[in-house]
Amino acid sequence: MLMSAVIFGIKLNCILQIRLCPFARRASRLLKPVLIPIMTIDPVLVLAPIFLTTELLSLALCMALASLRRSGLPGVRQWLLANIAVVVYLPLLGLRGMIPDCISIVAANGILALSVALYYAGCAHFLGRPPRWNWLLGGALLQVLAVSYWRYGDNNLPMRVMAISAYSAVVCTATAWLMLKHYRGRRGSVHYRLLTGLACIFALSQLARSIYFYTLHPAPTSIMLASGWNIVLLCLGAAIMPALSMSAVLMLHESLQTEAENAANRDFMTGALSRKHLFTIGQQQILHAAASHQPLTLLLIDLDHFKTINDTFGHAAGDEVLRAFADMVHGHLRGRDALGRLGGEEFAILLPEATVEAGWQVAERLRQHAQQHLVSSSFGDCRYSISIGVAGWHGGESFDQLCRRADQALYEAKNNGRNRVHVSPVGVVPVAVAG
């Protein structure tokens, strides 16, 4: 029974195929004139809304960057000019055929090259690096000359596109390299990674466009120009400046946020941590020490007879001494150590993963350098000394309790003649007295 059903199905299928085959052939002949235009992409219909969107995005970014000019951050001016150039470039490109080619082709692509150069210059200024204008403008000029020759000397579209794409690819590659080598912000920053990654992607897309048009040389057909590959590469090219500029705006925002955090968390005069932020870090270090069973040592430092310095040389001289002292201390600390200013002439140093003995050695070294430190400025020459109290953290102890023990040790150092290091009585390290 089953075998009979299978044979019947096979026969029915063959009959249907034979009878429907002429109909399918006739339908194919009828639909062929309709299907061919559908399979060919009209670049104008695809690119017009994309270029219009790019124009609007560039205008919005111009306004955003213009609002950031008051921030004083480097690079804003160059990034703003780069987007203004894109705003000028796109209408000139869109008017091709209605205005002379010297404007819609040569001048427009020259403005585009200038935009790319300005963007790189903005990145260089932001990172504190020279923009190398001679290379940037020299390359842009070569592109303009190449475009001019392959329009008026030898009208060759693929070579024009290759010249334009090659310059953009080189500058995007240079931008990515600049960010990788000289970025000094947080390496884990999403904005830094985004800008670097986008620069690499756009460099590869422009290189691919150059190679694609090289394969079309010498005379591309309209179907080749309307191919999906060319449309995709054109869309990527249109997205270069808005995407990179948005990444730049995000980096500027991050920089402003970092400045605000530093203003809140650091003493503006000495660069040391504020009292509040030092206590926050101290509590975090207590938790870390308890979890990891690592030692933690606190140093409290007071500049001896600081009032005498102010009375003798003036308050400006006292401020200069505080700055010089903080700079000297920063030069002797590890990256994970924290220097904070508690107020006036009193400072504190947190030494994670340092025993009391190691903390005493750091304190003694700082005391000796302070004693030999000569601060010279317009007020004259000034010397100073410091007294230091050292306390090591013990399990179950809060940061406030650790500070009280270090403060008691500092009081003992000052009470016993100043210019000395005293360790909290719990420690077993001897007291160091100036010779």
Q: Does residue 326 have a pLDDT over 90?
A: yes
What pLDDT is stored for residue 21 in this prediction?
45
What pLDDT is stored for residue 298 in this prediction?
94
Model confidence at 1, pLDDT cuts 50, 70, 90, reads very low
What pLDDT is stored for residue 396 in this prediction?
83
CA 402 to chain CA centroid, Å, is: 39
User: Alpha-carbon distance 274 to 227, whole Å?
Assistant: 61
Model confidence at 222, pLDDT cuts 50, 70, 90, reads low
Q: Is residue 46 part of a domain?
A: yes
Q: Does residue 224 have a pLDDT over 80?
A: no
Do 240 and 279 belong to one domain?
A: no
Q: Is residue 168 part of a domain?
A: yes
Domain span at 226:
38-265
Do 239 and 352 belong to one domain?
A: no
Please give the structure tokens belonging to residue 381.
């020459």
Do 250 and 387 belong to one domain?
A: no
Pairing type for strands 296-303 and 432-433 reads: unpaired
Last residue of a domain, one of 222, 240, 265: 265
Do 289 and 422 belong to one domain?
A: yes
Please give the full DSSP string across 196-248, using - where no structure is assigned. HHHHHHHHHHHHHHHHHHHHH-S---HHHHTSHHHHHHHHHHHHHHHHHHHHH
Edge-first strand order for the sheet with 346-352 is: 338-343, 346-352, 296-303, 386-392, 420-423, 432-433
Model confidence at 230, pLDDT cuts 50, 70, 90, reads low
pLDDT digits (tens, 9 = 90+) for 418-430: 999 999 875 444 4
Last residue of a domain, one of 211, 232, 265: 265
Do 279 and 378 belong to one domain?
A: yes
Do 198 and 297 belong to one domain?
A: no
Do 212 and 308 belong to one domain?
A: no
What pLDDT is stored for residue 31 in this prediction?
37
pLDDT digits (tens, 9 = 90+) for 11-38: 434 443 444 345 434 534 443 443 334 3
Q: Is residue 345 part of a domain?
A: yes
User: Alpha-carbon distance 178 to 75, whole Å?
Assistant: 14
Q: Does residue 311 have a pLDDT over 70?
A: yes
Which of the two residues, 313 and 39, has the higher pLDDT score?
313
Do 85 and 126 belong to one domain?
A: yes
Neighbours of 182 (CB within 10 A): 13
Q: Does residue 185 have a pLDDT over 80?
A: no
Model confidence at 227, pLDDT cuts 50, 70, 90, reads low
Count of domains forming the chain: 2
Do 258 and 289 belong to one domain?
A: no
CATH number of the domain that residue 194 is part of: 1.20.1070
Do 51 and 79 belong to one domain?
A: yes
- Residue-averaged pLDDT of the chain: 82
Highest mean pLDDT among 180-194, 316-330, 372-386: 316-330
Do 289 and 253 belong to one domain?
A: no
Distances (CA, A) of 182 to 118, 154, 186, 192, 386: 18, 42, 12, 11, 38
Considering Cα of 371, then 376, then 378, then 381, what sign does the dihedral take? Answer: positive
Model confidence at 45, pLDDT cuts 50, 70, 90, reads low
CATH number of the domain that residue 394 is part of: 3.30.70.270
Please give the full DSSP string across 142-156, using - where no structure is assigned. HHHHHHHIIIIIS--
SS3 314: coil
Q: What percent of the chain has pLDDT over 70?
A: 82
Q: Does residue 115 have a pLDDT over 90?
A: yes
What pLDDT is stored for residue 186 in this prediction?
56
Do 200 and 135 belong to one domain?
A: yes
Model confidence at 10, pLDDT cuts 50, 70, 90, reads very low
